[in-house]
Chains A and B, each alone.
Chain A
């Protein structure tokens, strides 16, 4: 049972990291143009997001 004391916080923290990463991707506009993103990967331009 002692393992729980650090396993549970570790699980929650990992989940939290995933949530924060999702929030960041949402906030930085990565879902604004899904069609464009699918096409941009095919071009060789040095492309920086706005």
Chain B
């Protein structure tokens, strides 16, 4: 199974996440026995080695009774007693290089788990029942007319009834419940004919057994339920996985904060408990949890979550900070000016929710088919019943044949094949690093006509990379010693380009300006032109792209300039070409200025592009496309793209995107290439083709089988064979999707 943060692999240990510990005290639960419980979301754990490192690391702490990491849901649970400070646990995990966030179990109601458990129980019961009833039924069919007398047969029927009646009534609960709910709203869904067929077959069989008749179908209801429950369980698991991913993201947004009391002491509080006027301490690496104003300290902050731009911004007393901003270099004290739930991020989240509601009106392919299927089958069954009553005059014969029609037509293709196709398709995409967050996302992607890209972080990698041409290796190595102490994005890019190496131990960073250190007795500076120019000669340079430059100099020497680019993903041109070859129109919508947007559009080969768009203008453009009949696949990464992602017919986000954006999109893809977009479209189209084929097959099967059933030629044996054969065929057809994997 999956979590959103699955990086491309598990590079050594830890996913390269910043291990920043927070105090989880507000999320600790105390049980009746005085034991403490804490649940956390751990990011960056992908393999067995990660799992045992995390568990061993926490178990080494005093008083820990149990520490368990769940690799499927990325949740970590610890139980302890005694006086262990909860922050020791997050420190232990963060110290191993994993990202850690609170999971606020109280805030998130979870009924999905019990639903899953019910389906598993039903599956177990019906599996047991079908095996044993089939054992008896096969004996009856084998002995029929040979050496089995009516007494033994009736005994076998009653034994079957003993198993089938409770198993059907229990195993059918998920279907009966859903059918009743649909009928109460005055419509009929797939579960109505299923419930009718199952209950009809059971009632008829009991009647047959009581008159020592021949047409008992005890194996039909249990086997039918067993096969359909498999499909239901697959479908539920798929949705559950999507929900779990979204839940984890929600939990991460409920980060705690450090509040300063009147006496100056620091206490950890949950974000929801912050009120305007609270003084909050924001350490480097921490996220601001509510809109606030700086009252003490100077630092750089990363506003990427809010603006989508990666260049850091200086913060000083009086600066306004939006929730979601990350403090980069120095301690800040801020005063909250809004509650956490009234803050900008929360408002954007609500915008996303509004978009998702419009999307939830999407009608799944299987439901569309059900709308045609249900009335046709019921009319047919009623006609068969009426017809036999007229011809034969016997209610018994009429009922037997009408129920045979219901059993034979029971929608295995719809109930089993569609989830099977979706599970195979999402599994195939997941192996290649793409996470599908909802079952119907693939159906929607198969329908798109337009592909709309965001620029920064989507067509480009969204992080600065040192431009190779301007590098002097010796200068780079010296500058990197200074850069390695800093969290500034450009310093990190510089350090990354230089690789691992020495660190200038006495280096000091001045926020918004640069770093100074002594190397071999010489003072050196790395930073902005004015900072370096204060004690060295800075050569003249163009103002364009100043935000993406660093200067480096020894005292009194001439400065070297390092320039950085936001480089394009390597395969953008090929992807755009491949998309156009598939008959899709490609567009670029950028919030950036016109010149860089044009440069990227030209390099990518995208003819249709717009620059300088605000978030609501992007949504408006998508709405206009929709009104013109287009179905859009939106691909973006910034929080400013989140409303547009939710608005589009389908959406994808790269794994580097901010949490809220990942939760707003249908698919999340990993890695530095854009090819997963093409692959997702291919797989989606292929799976739609398979689903349609399966529908076609069941239509054909029904067209052949219904006349036989209506004319009374179907015996319980034939019904059992036909039912399992059709389920097998549609499932095997779904598995064909895996066959094309190597070619892709």
Q: Which residues of chain A have a CB within 8 Å of any CB of chain B?
A: 1, 4, 8, 11-12, 15-16, 18-19, 22-23, 26, 31-36, 38-40, 42-43, 45, 47, 50
**Assuming A1-B152, A15-B128, A16-B128, what are 10 further A-B pairs, CB within 8 angstroms?**
A18-B128, A22-B124, A22-B127, A32-B72, A33-B72, A34-B72, A36-B70, A36-B72, A40-B48, A45-B55
B interface SS class: helix
Q: What CA separation (Å) do A26 and B120 show in the bound complex?
A: 8
A11 and B51 contact, Cβ closer than 8 Å, known pairs A33-B73, A39-B71:
no
Interface size on B, residues (CB 8 A): 30
Q: Are A43's CB and B132's CB within 8 A?
A: no
Contacting A26 at CB < 8 Å: which of B1, B72, B124, B159? B124
> CB-CB < 8 A to B49: which residues of A?
43
Asked if B603 is an interface residue, CB under 8 A from chain A, the answer is no
> CB-CB < 8 A to B132: which residues of A?
11-12, 15
Q: Are A43's CB and B152's CB within 8 A?
A: no
Shortest CB–CB separation between residue A14 and chain B, in angstroms? 9
A45 and B72 contact, Cβ closer than 8 Å, known pairs A11-B135, A26-B120:
no
What is the chain A residue whose CB lies nearest that of B75?
A: A33
What is the chain A residue whose CB lies nearest that of B124?
A: A22
Shortest CB–CB separation between residue A30 and chain B, in angstroms? 11
Q: What CA separation (Å) do A12 and B167 show in the bound complex?
A: 14
A26 and B117 contact, Cβ closer than 8 Å, known pairs A15-B131, A34-B1, A40-B51:
yes
Q: Are A50's CB and B66's CB within 8 A?
A: yes
What is the chain A residue whose CB lies nearest that of B148?
A: A1
What is the chain A residue whose CB lies nearest that of B159?
A: A8
Q: What CA separation (Å) do A35 and B427 show in the bound complex?
A: 14
A-B contact pairs, 19 of them (CB 8 A): A11-B135, A12-B132, A12-B163, A15-B128, A18-B128, A23-B121, A26-B117, A32-B70, A33-B70, A33-B71, A34-B1, A35-B71, A36-B70, A36-B72, A38-B48, A39-B48, A40-B52, A42-B48, A45-B52
What is the chain A residue whose CB lies nearest that of B167?
A: A19
> CB-CB < 8 A to A22: which residues of B?
124, 127-128
Asked if B487 is an interface residue, CB under 8 A from chain A, the answer is no
Q: Are A19's CB and B72's CB within 8 A?
A: no
Shortest CB–CB separation between residue A28 and chain B, in angstroms? 12
Q: What CA separation (Å) do A22 and B77 show in the bound complex?
A: 25
> CB-CB < 8 A to B48: which residues of A?
38-40, 42-43
Q: What CA separation (Å) do A38 and B1 show in the bound complex?
A: 11
What is the chain A residue whose CB lies nearest that of B48?
A: A39
> CB-CB < 8 A to B56: which residues of A?
45
Asked if B47 is an interface residue, CB under 8 A from chain A, the answer is yes
Q: Which residues of chain B have a CB within 8 Å of any CB of chain A?
A: 1, 47-49, 51-52, 55-56, 66, 68-73, 77, 117, 120-121, 124-125, 127-128, 131-132, 135-136, 152, 159, 163
Number of contacts between A and B (CB, 8 Å)? 62
Shortest CB–CB separation between residue A42 and chain B, in angstroms? 5
> CB-CB < 8 A to A38: which residues of B?
48
Contacting A50 at CB < 8 Å: which of B68, B73, B125, B136? B68
Contacting A31 at CB < 8 Å: which of B69, B77, B120, B135? B120
Q: What CA separation (Å) do A25 and B117 show in the bound complex?
A: 12
Q: Are A26's CB and B128's CB within 8 A?
A: no
Q: Are B128's CB and A19's CB within 8 A?
A: yes
What is the chain A residue whose CB lies nearest that of B73?
A: A33
Shortest CB–CB separation between residue B139 and chain A, in angstroms? 9
Contacting A36 at CB < 8 Å: which of B69, B77, B117, B159? B69
Q: What CA separation (Å) do A45 and B69 show in the bound complex?
A: 14
Contacting A35 at CB < 8 Å: which of B72, B124, B131? B72
What is the chain B residue whose CB lies nearest that of A26?
A: B120
> CB-CB < 8 A to A16: which residues of B?
128
The residue among A4, A38, A39 with the most chain B CB atoms within 10 A of its own CB is A39
What is the chain A residue whose CB lies nearest that of B50?
A: A39
What is the chain B residue whose CB lies nearest that of A45?
A: B52
> CB-CB < 8 A to A32: which residues of B?
70, 72
Q: What CA separation (Å) do A38 and B69 show in the bound complex?
A: 13
Shortest CB–CB separation between residue B316 and chain A, in angstroms? 47
What is the chain A residue whose CB lies nearest that of B59?
A: A45
> CB-CB < 8 A to A31: which residues of B?
120
What is the chain A residue whose CB lies nearest that of B67?
A: A50
> CB-CB < 8 A to B117: which residues of A?
26
Shortest CB–CB separation between residue A2 and chain B, in angstroms? 12
What is the chain B residue whose CB lies nearest that of A4?
A: B152
Shortest CB–CB separation between residue B500 and chain A, in angstroms? 28
> CB-CB < 8 A to B1: which residues of A?
34-35
Shortest CB–CB separation between residue A29 and chain B, in angstroms? 10
A43 and B52 contact, Cβ closer than 8 Å, known pairs A19-B125, A23-B124, A35-B1:
yes
A39 and B128 contact, Cβ closer than 8 Å, known pairs A26-B117, A50-B66:
no
Shortest CB–CB separation between residue B67 and chain A, in angstroms? 9
What is the chain B residue whose CB lies nearest that of A16?
A: B128
Shortest CB–CB separation between residue B227 and chain A, in angstroms? 18
Kindly list the 6 A-B residue pairs having the minimum CB-CB distance in the complex, ordered from nearest: A39-B48, A36-B71, A19-B128, A35-B71, A33-B70, A43-B52
Q: What CA separation (Å) do A1 and B152 show in the bound complex?
A: 9
Q: What CA separation (Å) do A50 and B79 show in the bound complex?
A: 10
Shortest CB–CB separation between residue B168 and chain A, in angstroms? 15
> CB-CB < 8 A to A39: which residues of B?
47-48, 51, 71
> CB-CB < 8 A to A12: which residues of B?
132, 163
Q: Are B51's CB and A43's CB within 8 A?
A: yes
What is the chain A residue whose CB lies nearest that of B56?
A: A45
> CB-CB < 8 A to A33: which residues of B?
70-73
Q: What CA separation (Å) do A43 and B55 show in the bound complex?
A: 12
Q: What CA separation (Å) do A12 and B51 show in the bound complex?
A: 41
What is the chain B residue whose CB lies nearest that of A23?
A: B124
Shortest CB–CB separation between residue B435 and chain A, in angstroms? 14
> CB-CB < 8 A to B121: which residues of A?
23, 26
Q: What CA separation (Å) do A37 and B70 show in the bound complex?
A: 9
> CB-CB < 8 A to B71: which residues of A?
33, 35-36, 39
Shortest CB–CB separation between residue A34 and chain B, in angstroms? 6
What is the chain B residue whose CB lies nearest that of A44?
A: B52
Shortest CB–CB separation between residue A37 and chain B, in angstroms? 8
> CB-CB < 8 A to B72: which residues of A?
32-36
Contacting A19 at CB < 8 Å: which of B77, B124, B136? B124
> CB-CB < 8 A to B152: which residues of A?
1, 4
> CB-CB < 8 A to A50: which residues of B?
66, 68, 77
> CB-CB < 8 A to B135: which residues of A?
11
